[in-house]
Amino acid sequence: MSALVKGETGEWEIVIGLEIHAQIIANSKLFSGSATDFGAEPNTQVSMVDAAMPGMLPVLNEKCVEQAVRTGLGLNAEIMRTSIFARKNYFYPDLPQGYQISQFEDPIVGKGVIEIDLPDGTVKEIGITRLHLEQDAGKSVHDQHPKKSFVDLNRSGCALMEIVSEPDIRGPEEAVAYISKIRMILRYLETCNGNMDEGSMRADVNVSVRKPGDELGTRAEIKNVNSLKAVHQAIDFEVERQIELIEDGGEVVQETRLWDPAKNETRSMRSKEEAHDYRYFPDPDLLPLVLEEKYIEDIKATLPELPDQKKHRFMGDYSLNLYDASILIAERSRAEFFETVANDNDAKLAANWVINELLGALNKDEKKLEQSPISAKNLGGLIALISDNTISGKIAKDVFAEMYASGKEANAIVEEKGLKQVTDTGAIEKIVDEVIAENPDNLAKYKNGKVQLLGFFVGQVMKKSQGKANPKMVNDILKGKLD
């Protein structure tokens, strides 16, 4: 499904805005000293503050502020010098305070913009509306006992960044590209690990449809979608539902919906009339957060090269195409691996070997790059042997397989197995003479004008040399002798 969808009454345009919740990488929670490790025993990472004991006071974790500023800078966004923490009031069993500390009118990060890469190779800009800091809630556990529900407060008070996009996204592919790019940026910055399956990153998907050129339509918000596949499917379902509804004379109501992956549908959770009145007000326990210009500048100075910058540099410095560059920059560690391989080597050759051979082999074994039996330096060594004609590209594939299996260096394998390319003219001439002598019939045919038999002779010589003869020299010498 692309941006425009055909209905019975003509074309409809899809409009999407995303709210991404990203858990901040920090040793402790937003307002307490409790640990934040994923998968710990229930209720082992809960301080008096997280359990909302009377009289407890929140103390802002500076690391979380720094992480939010880093992220804002990575999203090319304005960092607000003053932001305010506000209470968002609602009742829920996993929220012992009875409110969440969040930011409402004055978030820490304002407007920004990122580039997304679309499957057809084009690039599009998506506006960021804001980023604010907030506490996560705990978790209700319903599947441990037939009659009872339990509450796990380990997550209570963990720091989240909520990243809100402008309604600039025009279809499921763009939504997926946007989430992927945000995830990539956060991982580069090391402000969020981006693990959607652990809930460290999740998205609320706002969807509406309109006739092209019309005002924005009424949106439905699909809560807590936690995989790219689910985002795509939920949007597909929701768009179809809204178009049918409107074309049948109905109206989309503004409401919160849930994605049910088992039934492949979205379901109404609550409408606007039942929407919570959160009674936001500034938290009296926390001062306004005021950032100095120098503080922001100091963080800016520590930012790594970000995915898009890296992509453009790879295309410029190494003359890679967009496709190869995009694959290589997808993870920071992958880009670093490639640059080590490409060091002093032909970059295009390096890109081919990393993408097609190494990533291909790892993918087949379901291994990560970090588990690669071939180090970046050793892969670079193999490529150097191809470039300086020590081995042919064909032999290199065998050497690669051996390196992958044994972890040995290319040079050692080539020495051990005597795989060095033969570039000695005399040695090649000798084999050429033998092959010509052994094939008088084909020699006669060649002389009579069947010049395509050159390939046959080349093949025979290569075979006789066990693949080690330099193919270009074989060609030249054969031509000289046959013609």
Binding site residues, ligand ADP, CB under 6 A: 15-19, 164-167, 206-208, 216-217, 219
Q: How far is the CB of 125 from ligand ADP (least distance, A)?
A: 14
Q: Residue 282's beta-bridge partner residues?
A: 86
Q: Which is nearer to ligand ADP, 84 or 207 (CB)?
A: 207
> Do 16 and 209 meet the contact criterion of CB atoms below 8 Å apart?
no
Q: How far is the CB of 206 from ligand ADP (least distance, A)?
A: 3
Measured from the Cβ of residue 180, the count of other Cβ atoms closer than 10 Å reads 15
Q: Which is nearer to ligand ADP, 166 or 346 (CB)?
A: 166
Measured from the Cβ of residue 244, the count of other Cβ atoms closer than 10 Å reads 12
Q: For residue 195, what are its two tokens?
A: 């693990």
Task: For residue 328, give every residue at least 6 positions away whose Cβ sits within 8 Å of its Cβ, in sequence order, or none.
Answer: 314, 320, 334, 335, 338, 351, 354, 355
Measured from the Cβ of residue 316, the count of other Cβ atoms closer than 10 Å reads 10
Q: What are the CA-CA distances from residue 33 to residues 38, 67, 137, 139, 244 (Å)?
A: 16, 16, 16, 19, 51
Q: Which is nearer to ligand ADP, 270 or 300 (CB)?
A: 270
Task: For residue 263, give every residue at least 6 positions away whose Cβ sits within 8 Å of its Cβ, in sequence order, or none.
Answer: none
Q: Which is nearer to ligand ADP, 16 or 246 (CB)?
A: 16
For the chain, the C-alpha Rg in angstroms (whole number) is: 30
Q: How far is the CB of 18 from ligand ADP (least distance, A)?
A: 6
Q: Which is nearer to ligand ADP, 131 or 422 (CB)?
A: 131
Q: How far is the CB of 20 from ligand ADP (least distance, A)?
A: 9
Q: Which is nearer to ligand ADP, 194 or 217 (CB)?
A: 217
Task: For residue 26, give every residue at least 6 positions away whose Cβ sits within 8 Å of its Cβ, in sequence order, or none.
Answer: 36, 61, 63, 64, 67, 159
Residue nearest to ligand ADP (CB): 17
82 vs 74: CA distance, rounded Å: 19
Q: How far is the CB of 109 from ligand ADP (least distance, A)?
A: 14
> Do 434 and 387 meet the contact criterion of CB atoms below 8 Å apart?
no
Q: Which is nearer to ligand ADP, 190 or 274 (CB)?
A: 274
Q: How far is the CB of 91 from ligand ADP (least distance, A)?
A: 19
460 vs 441: CA distance, rounded Å: 14
Q: For residue 33, what are its two tokens?
A: 């000293």
Q: Which is nearer to ligand ADP, 166 or 398 (CB)?
A: 166
158 vs 134: CA distance, rounded Å: 8
> Do 335 and 187 meet the contact criterion of CB atoms below 8 Å apart?
no
Q: How far is the CB of 166 from ligand ADP (least distance, A)?
A: 5
Q: Which is nearer to ligand ADP, 181 or 311 (CB)?
A: 181
Q: How far is the CB of 38 from ligand ADP (least distance, A)?
A: 27
Q: How far is the CB of 347 from ligand ADP (least distance, A)?
A: 39
